[in-house]
């Protein structure tokens, strides 16, 4: 077994690998960029090496620098995590040539499955069912459009390299094919350095079901059952579960047999996932599933498999990479109960899931599970850390396990509801709503479920009157003074003749809220928002069913599973904002202006695409908010920060 390994990754997965390595008595070396100098994975590792700038191309994609760090620290092997260099066969070659062990499959196995078109041709030869489509080498638009017509619309354009929904477009009509192809190619080029695509038939009611496989260097390969990853938005997974709801014994046998057959066809070693698309329009049947791709690495959603199998997949990775056989035979791997994983992201579901950034001024996860269940939170951040625009905006993975699907799902909804984040917009309320959705709860899930129900799943309820009162009280500083060690804080509410009164001005959803706060002799406060009812609240600003987090310029109230962020109004800033006017459009997040579709002097209409902003490795189209004439527009190729003016209109 290894005595020391280097983890060529960051965030949650780096922390995950460190925990298992520590349990096995293996020392760890972390690597970090400028942006990650104070990151959790750096603090957890036994050693840490700085490898470059914040951009991934300057750090986490620098294979030569990472290998040099491993050799300098005496690490014997490199664990790639997922993403970054984990599926780069050239990096694997460099690692082995340097005399180190790559904790994962061989470069040949990665090459065999790295390009979707070649992988599908290989699977066809191995007798694995493949989704209908064009997987050839020709990339001319005339040929691709012709193949799309032969396949029949709707079709799916997919980047042949990479995954995660990047470089993927659904096309419903031939007239939209050219634009969709251009967008998919740009995104694929930016994310994977390869703009080649394939075209496939879009399945009307698709289920995304994948099988966890594991191989070793002795020719053995096993499966650890399936996961359902159908709950997706923008082709990216949101909630995963194991086993798949509605799975029949016949389909499970067919899928797991095909998955193991695929792994053996490429002499696979280590953890891998065979992804299938399943047509659920007429139930789950053994002749209605097709191979999509293989992920030659550990998956983000691997914890649900660990929960139902009792297997530590990272431990298996380390053992197999060090020369051992797979610890268990197929008949020794048993399925127990049901597990869910929800991906908690810094993003705004109400704005089309736009990625968000910010400092995590308050961060609290549930530590106790509901009776009869288990809870597990995988994270790479702590309170006070910042969500960087340079990397994926995941905050944590919330995982629950129970004896059956309904119990595990109820535990997930409860766990997400009890998760508190202040300082960045998150998808927590959306996750809770999805977990409680009747269709999802019944197991009637497909990849289009979120899209069909997006409006109702992302509806934002207004804060209650009590939440407003709690926010107003916290805005006065009452929370801080009561919690202070300052001996004079006990006189906060004291006045010699008349009760001490204060006035708090907040902003929520663009509307001003004014509240009057009066200190009472008993140490409590009467809070009365203008035009609303009065509440008597205790100092400390917390209440039954609600908690409050105050942070610079803001107060966040957590109530009934939702968070409400109130801005503490600054009259000077507001005056400046009013004076500037509203005839401009600003960047909703930091990013790169990838494409500009309008020019100064153009007359545009509301909803017209004006430019494409690339942020968090995805493209976002910025459309006109109203009719007007452009007086100024951002330059293509410029890097912008959150709030930068992208477009100005003539008065």
Nearest Cα residue to 543 out of 521, 563, 558, 527 = 558
Q: Is the dihedral of CA 339, 344, 350, 352 positive or negative?
A: negative
What interhelical angle do 249-265 and 116-125 show, nearest 10?
110
Q: Which residues contact 142 (CB under 8 A, 6 or more apart)?
A: none
CA distances to 74, 92, 268, 308, 312 from 24, rounded to whole Å, are 18, 24, 24, 22, 11
Burial label, 217 (beta-carbon count in 10 A; 0-12, 13-18, 19+): middle
Please say if 524 is a catalytic residue: no
CA distances to 25, 147, 593 from 9, rounded to whole Å, are 20, 39, 27
Backbone angles phi, psi at 310, to 5 degrees: 75, 15
Nearest Cα residue to 26 out of 317, 380, 379 = 317
Q: Is the peptide bond before 171 cis (omega within 30 degrees of 0)?
A: no
User: How far apart (Å, rounded) are the C-alpha atoms in residues 558 and 547?
Assistant: 5
Question: Residue 428 in contact with residue 414, Cβ under 8 Å?
Answer: no
Nearest Cα residue to 47 out of 64, 65, 26 = 26
Nearest Cα residue to 374 out of 406, 348, 412, 346 = 412
User: How far apart (Å, rounded) are the C-alpha atoms in residues 193 and 92?
Assistant: 18
A 10 A CB-CB count for 608 gives 13
Structure tokens that stand for 348 in this block: 């705004």
**In which order are the strands placed within the sheet that holds 77-79?**
47-52, 27-33, 4-7, 77-79, 101-102
The H or E element spanning position 599 is none
User: How far apart (Å, rounded) are the C-alpha atoms in residues 618 and 73?
Assistant: 35
Structure tokens that stand for 71 in this block: 């050799």
Instruction: Exactly one of 10, 111, 297, 405 is catalytic; name it.
Output: 297
Structural Rg of the chain based on CA atoms: 27
Q: State the residue for tokens 């930091």.
A: 590
Nearest Cα residue to 34 out of 25, 44, 42, 24 = 42
CA distances to 306, 470, 488 from 312, rounded to whole Å, are 6, 44, 53
Q: Which residues are catalytic?
A: 297
């Amino acid at each position: 077994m290894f005595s020391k390994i280097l983890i060529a990754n960051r965030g949650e997965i780096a922390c995950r690998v460190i925990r298992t390595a520590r349990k096995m008595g293996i020392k760890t070396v972390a690597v970090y960029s400028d942006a990650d100098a104070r990151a959790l994975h750096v603090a957890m590792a036994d050693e840490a090496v700085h490898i470059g700038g914040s951009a991934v191309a300057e750090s986490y994609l620098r294979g030569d620098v990472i290998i040099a760090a491993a050799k300098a620290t005496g690490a014997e092997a490199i664990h790639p995590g997922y993403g970054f260099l984990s599926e780069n066969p050239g990096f694997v070659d460099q690692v082995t040539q340097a005399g180190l062990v790559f904790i994962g499959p061989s470069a040949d196995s990665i090459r065999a499955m790295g390009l979707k078109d070649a992988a599908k041709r290989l699977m066809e030869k191995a007798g694995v069912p493949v989704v209908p489509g064009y997987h050839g080498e020709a990339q001319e638009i005339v040929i691709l459009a012709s193949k799309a017509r032969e396949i029949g619309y709707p079709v799916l354009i997919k980047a042949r390299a990479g995954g995660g929904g990047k470089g993927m477009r659904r096309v419903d009509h031939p007239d939209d094919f050219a634009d969709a192809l251009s967008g998919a190619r740009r995104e694929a080029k930016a994310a994977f350095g390869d703009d080649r695509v394939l075209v496939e038939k879009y399945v009307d009611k698709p289920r995304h079901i994948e099988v966890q496989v594991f191989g070793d260097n002795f020719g053995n390969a096993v499966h650890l059952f399936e996961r359902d990853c159908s709950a997706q938005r923008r082709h990216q997974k949101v909630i995963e579960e194991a086993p798949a709801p509605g799975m029949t014994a016949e389909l499970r046998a067919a899928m797991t047999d095909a998955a193991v057959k695929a792994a053996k066809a490429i002499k696979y070693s280590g953890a891998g996932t065979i992804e299938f698309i399943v047509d659920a329009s007429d139930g789950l049947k053994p002749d209605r599933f097709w191979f999509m791709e293989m992920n030659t690495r550990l998956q983000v959603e691997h914890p649900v498999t660990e929960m139902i199998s009792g297997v530590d997949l990272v431990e298996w990775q380390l053992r197999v990479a060090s020369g051992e056989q797979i610890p268990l035979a197929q008949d020794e791997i048993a399925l127990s109960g049901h597990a869910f994983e929800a991906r908690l992201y810094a993003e705004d579901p109400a704005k089309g899931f736009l990625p968000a950034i910010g400092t995590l001024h308050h961060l609290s996860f549930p530590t106790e599970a509901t009776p009869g269940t288990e809870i597990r939170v995988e994270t790479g951040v702590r309170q006070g850390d910042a969500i960087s625009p340079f990397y994926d905006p995941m905050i944590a993975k919330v995982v629950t396990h129970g004896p059956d699907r309904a119990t595990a799902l109820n535990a997930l909804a409860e766990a997400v509801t009890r998760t508190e984040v202040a300082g960045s917009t998150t998808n927590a309320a959306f996750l809770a709503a999805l977990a409680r959705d009747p269709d999802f709860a019944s197991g009637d899930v497909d990849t289009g479920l979120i899209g069909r129900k997006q409006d109702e799943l992302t509806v934002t309820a207004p804060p209650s009157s009590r939440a407003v009162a709690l926010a107003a009280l916290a805005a006065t500083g009452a929370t801080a003074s009561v919690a202070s060690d300052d001996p004079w804080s006990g006189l906060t509410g004291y006045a010699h003749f008349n009760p001490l009164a204060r006035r708090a001005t907040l902003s929520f959803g663009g509307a001003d809220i004014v509240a009057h706060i009066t200190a009472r002799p008993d140490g409590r406060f009467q809070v009365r928002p203008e035009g609303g009812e009065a509440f008597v609240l205790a100092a400390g600003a917390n209440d039954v069913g609600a908690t409050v987090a105050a942070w610079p310029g803001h107060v966040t109230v957590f109530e009934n599973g939702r968070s409400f962020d109130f801005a503490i109004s600054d009259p000077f800033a507001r005056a400046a904002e009013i004076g500037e006017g509203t005839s401009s459009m600003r960047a909703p997040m930091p990013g790169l202006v990838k494409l500009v579709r309008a020019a100064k002097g153009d007359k545009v209409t509301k909803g017209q695409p004006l430019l494409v902003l690339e942020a968090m490795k995805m493209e976002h189209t910025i459309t006109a908010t109203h009719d007007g004439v452009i007086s100024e527009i951002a330059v293509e190729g410029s890097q912008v920060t959150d709030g930068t003016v992208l477009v100005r209109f003539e008065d």
